[in-house]
Structure 1
Amino acid sequence: MNDVTIIDYAPEYSRYFKSLNVEWLEQYFTVEPIDLPILDQPFEKIIAPGEDVIFALWQGRVVGTCA
Structure 2
Amino acid sequence: MLENINYNLMQTIAIISQSLYRYDTYIRDAAGCTSCQEMWVKFKEQREKELSMLLKELKGHVEAGKLSLG
| TM-score, length-scaled by structure 1 | 0.33
Structure with greater helix share of residues: 2
Q: Rg bigger for which structure?
A: 2
| TM-score, length-scaled by structure 2 | 0.32
